[in-house]
Amino acid sequence: MSLMTERTATASAPATRWTPPGKAYAGGRWQETTRTTAITDPETGGFLGEVADSTAAEVGTAVDALVDTFRVTTAADGTDWPLWQRREALHRAAELVKQHAERFTGIVSSEGCKIIRDARREVARAAETLRLSAGAGHALQGTSVPFEDTSLGADRLGWSSREPLGVVAAITPFNDPLNLVAHKVGPALLAGNVIAVKPHEATPLSALALAELLLEAGVPGDRIAVLPGGPIAGRELVSHPGVDVVSFTGGVRTADEVARLAGARTLLMELGGSNPVIVDHGVDLVSAAQAIAEGAFGCAGQNCLSVQRVYVVAEHYEELLSHLTHATAQLSVGSKHDESTDVGPLINTAAARRVERRIEEAVARGAVVRAGAVRQGATYQPTILTDLAPDDPIVTDEIFGPVVSVLPVAGLDDAVHQANRPAAGLQAGVFTRDTTAALRTARRLRAGAVMINDTSDFRIDAMPFGGFHRSGIGREGVTSAVVAMTAPKVIAARLTSIS
């Protein structure tokens, strides 16, 4: 395998340099493109590699090639790469990711914002996602159609099968540069689609490295493209008339633009949200506070499942706040390359300044800082805010940074009312010892998933993943994505002869 990793030292931390076989992958081969961009470690500035800055013409050519591939394989009944071969290729890919875990860990951590321990966990999850994708063939089962249940169909026999939709355009974010690519590529390939990935412009190396591995695992080269680039490449990809499905993970404003450009075609969108956690009477407040600190400040808050707001019954408010402040103070803030670091930098200094500005605005509106609110370059200290109005923007709007707001509530009814206020409901958590209250609260919360006696920051890669309101469209998670990237086709046979 040519996925070679070179460790090079910088003044403050090691960097992982990996040279892709080409600047992009399209048309069944590695490409040298007309425009390129350098990828650097956002913490150290160390050079990591050079990739394509794909032009609209290059993206168009790549998608045209995928369209041709899908048309040819459809005309040939898909027998050139049947389901069992797709399954075996994805199984091999999962094993290869595990074999090369440290190499992938270095790439993920160096080009992105994850501390080394979180990068290692992401690589393990990517292997799991590919394994689950390989095993998702059950989602392609068809059903019989009861034609005999109506007089119009009495002389017919029929069934439905799930068929691939065609060309999938995938746009992925910087915060999970490997596993979120796997979450789009694995289900798309298993379902029989072809796919073009445009990774985030800051973190394309993970996607290119995964493409190299997939080819080694047996994925036909003409069924996948990886097209690094910026907004020009993204706009061309989602608006290309040959694209059948757009799978996007990112922010709401970009999603609105993607939807406008894509028009009337299948859209899958995971857009994050301001995730709530509720703390009821009688729970272990020390454990709850520890879980909240980990859920709010992991990955420096750059996580769509990150805990952003905590609603605590009023009589336990000060105690929970005290424990949370203590747990936050115990977190080690430092270099993402240091194994002892709990909270590393944001993706860049501009992101940290954006968080800093939002905190300053909240303080001007009356918020009280209980911890943090200090920026050093791209690092922002884990921050706890109180004394906020329930509809303050720092509470209701996604921050994507290491900030959590803590608010007192009269009880569970009040907590549910407050938690459901924002126009995005991805995931939520509720801590309570009352089983009936837990289930009742979970049912009333408008969120795609509710974690009982845990925070919003929990997910396994097999579960349906998505939310309500402005948190997105459809559901990811391997089996859900396979279903979303296919559609039922009905075949009906007339049993009586036509004279």
In a 3-state reduction of DSSP, which class is residue 163? strand
Query: CA-CA distance, 302 to 380, in Å (whole number)?
Result: 12
Please say if 315 is a catalytic residue.
no
CB of 177 within 8 A of CB of 199?
A: yes
Task: Return the number of other C-beta atoms located less than 10 Å from residue 415's C-beta.
Answer: 26
Q: Is 270 a catalytic residue?
A: yes
Alpha helices of 45-134 — where are they, by DSSP H?
Answer: 56-75, 83-99, 101-111, 116-134
Closest alpha carbon to 207 in 26, 335, 364, 80: 26
Nearest to 234 by CA among 198, 182, 284, 275: 198
Helix (H, G, I), strand (E, B) or coil at 313: strand
The helix (run of H) or strand (run of E) holding residue 240 is none
Q: What are phi and psi of 103, to 5 degrees?
A: -65, -50
- Reported as type and span, the H/E element at residue 462 is none
Query: CA-to-CA distance for 232 and 258, rounded, in angstroms?
Result: 12
C-alpha distance from residue 114 to each of 212, 235, 349 (Å)? 22, 27, 15
Contact criterion met (CB below 8 Å) for 399 and 354: no
Annotated active-site residue in 122, 304, 398, 476: 304
Report helix angle 205-217 to 83-99, nearest 10: 120
Are 343 and 297 contacting, i.e. CB atoms less than 8 angstroms apart? yes
Check 43, 122, 128, 270 and give the catalytic one: 270
Count Cβ atoms below 10 Å from residue 88 Cβ, excluding itself: 13
Phi/psi for 266 (5° steps) reads -65, 125
- Catalytic machinery residues: 270, 304
